[in-house]
Structure 1
């Protein structure tokens, strides 16, 4: 049985780990990238902004996992940066959809990333997949358009699952790295009010979620990719300090200070998102790291 997976955005934090786990599970993996020769996997070239893609890419795949998109946490959100954040997601997804609409392929499922940013700041209200997207919110707007582009694949009759990803925990990148650095320097403190909710997921659980959705035909539609135990920012910081055996020394890092340093991007850490994992649990997914402390200990054990 052919088990070939094509990953867009495969050189990023999630794609790198996902490719390793797919290989371990007996899949063949190829990456779609602008510079395919730099990877140890088979590569196909594409340039989403130019609308160019190797014609052999989609016909190679039994499954496509779409992770392409420039990082929301690299640099301040200037107007140019915002355009890049949006277009890097839209252009790639639309290009894949256009290519698949031509037919002549054997893709059985399309798994696409989105983010819990679609809900905006929800204070302590629990949100689920039925909660309407936030209005007047940059990330929510990006996610809506991104999901819209993925839905066009579903309209072509391909089984499509969209994952709204929470804060991905990994010591290799993402939000955890700067947070852990600050705590290790003995300067750890809750951010903003500290009461805002953080809906997180361990990188390995996220990858296992993608693999299960790829393998089981009942996965279709939109899912929150978050652990079942969201925590407040204060709890998160406190648990991280415990795991790193460091004291929490500072009072809260004030909101205006974060806004000064990060600009609009501060909403990534200041927005409160208490996101339900019920739908993935009902699908039968079992988290290896449902609770925060063991998730963090898996990275910093004996550190």
Structure 2
């Protein structure tokens, strides 16, 4: 099988590339970088989004496309310019990808395009599934909506399209988890905000396995929540980190202090949403790490 990945040099892209190349599938990663030194037998880097060349003539017939491209969300404060970059980078890359698909003589059978559970907006009381409606009152909800709308144009090309709405992806070395672990390493861990806000998370290995599962099950399409079946409240999330790391969980980090330090991005941890992966569970996907404690023990040990 030939897979095409945008955003393949990010931590989710790297995990997917490692998985599929280990199964001897060929993975073609679209990148802006002109030269990538670590080409391998099954991982190939192809330059795109430049004025000099189109990747089309460098690609074989592609079976599956995974669209992850976009500026990082957690790396810095959300200034107005940063927010424009987050949105523009996703729309620009997805538009370019759709254009590429339009020009492929043989179309892929599947496009999996990343999105976010931020699509649903925040709530402490409501539970969200793929059937829940869009809440456009927040920045990430608007980004997710517009990103998904652009990706859904692939359906007009006869391509099965999945909108993978990622929760908080837990990885030992990348993403937001190392930042959350840092206070506990210095024995100053504690509850963020009220502690009553929900955290919808997934272990990176289960994310990879669910993407593989989606590829193999052609009846899965449209939005799919890529989260574990056991969201937890922020207080429990922190307590579980402390338990696994054998560190105290005793401080409180009030919301106003977080906003003062991190700005608008702090709302990702202050508000939260309870998201259930209804489609994955209905399709009988089996999670390797269904509980947070199991997931953290796997990552930290």
Q: Which residue of 2 aligns with 1:249?
A: 250
The answer (yes or no) to whether the contact 2:127–2:275 under 8 Å persists in 1 is yes
TM-score, normalised via structure 2 length: 0.95
Q: Which residue of 2 aligns with 1:15?
A: 13
Deviation of residue 205 (structure 1)?
A: 0.5
TM-score, normalised via structure 1 length: 0.94
Q: What SS does structure 2 have at the residue aligned with 1:93?
A: helix
Determine if the alignment matches structure 1 residue 212 to structure 2 residue 216.
no
Deviation of residue 177 (structure 1)?
A: 0.5
Deviation of residue 176 (structure 1)?
A: 0.7
CA distance in 2, matches of 1:56, 1:275: 41
Segments of structure 2 that go 5 or more residues without pairing to the other structure are none
The answer (yes or no) to whether the contact 1:51–1:95 under 8 Å persists in 2 is no
Q: Which residue of 1 aligns with 2:267?
A: 267
CA distance in 2, matches of 1:298, 1:194: 24
The answer (yes or no) to whether the contact 2:130–2:277 under 8 Å persists in 1 is no
Q: Which residue of 1 aligns with 2:171?
A: 170
Q: How does 1:61-72 map to 2 (within 5 A)?
A: 61-72=62-73
Change (3 A) 1:43 1:217: same
Deviation of residue 52 (structure 1)?
A: 6.6
CA distance in 2, matches of 1:107, 1:161: 13
Deviation of residue 37 (structure 1)?
A: 2.3
The answer (yes or no) to whether the contact 1:188–1:247 under 8 Å persists in 2 is yes
CA distance in 2, matches of 1:150, 1:64: 11
Q: How does 1:51-130 map to 2 (within 5 A)?
A: 53-56=54-57, 59-130=60-131
**What is the CA deviation profile of residues 48-100 of structure 1, one whole-angstrom value per residue up to 9, with x for unaligned ones?**
7x697422356542111111111111111111111110011111111111121
Q: Which residue of 1 aligns with 2:155?
A: 154
Q: Which residue of 1 aligns with 2:282?
A: 282
The answer (yes or no) to whether the contact 1:117–1:143 under 8 Å persists in 2 is yes
Q: What SS does structure 1 have at the residue aligned with 2:77?
A: coil
CA distance in 2, matches of 1:141, 1:163: 16
CA distance in 2, matches of 1:115, 1:79: 20
Kindly report structure 1 stretches of 4+ aligned residues shifted beyond 6 Å: none
**What is the CA deviation profile of residues 88-121 of structure 1, one whole-angstrom value per residue up to 9, with x for unaligned ones?**
1111111111121234024111111100011111
The answer (yes or no) to whether the contact 2:191–2:250 under 8 Å persists in 1 is no
Q: Which residue of 2 aligns with 1:144?
A: 145
Q: What SS does structure 1 have at the residue aligned with 2:48?
A: strand
**What is the CA deviation profile of residues 238-263 of structure 1, one whole-angstrom value per residue up to 9, with x for unaligned ones?**
0000000101131x200000001111
Q: What SS does structure 2 have at the residue aligned with 1:285?
A: coil
Q: What SS does structure 1 have at the residue aligned with 2:194?
A: coil
Deviation of residue 182 (structure 1)?
A: 1.0
Q: Which residue of 2 aligns with 1:47?
A: 49
Deviation of residue 124 (structure 1)?
A: 2.5
Q: 1:33 aligns with which of 28, 31, 48?
A: 31
The answer (yes or no) to whether the contact 1:196–1:273 under 8 Å persists in 2 is yes
The answer (yes or no) to whether the contact 1:36–1:42 under 8 Å persists in 2 is no
Q: CA-atom RMSD, angstroms?
A: 1.6
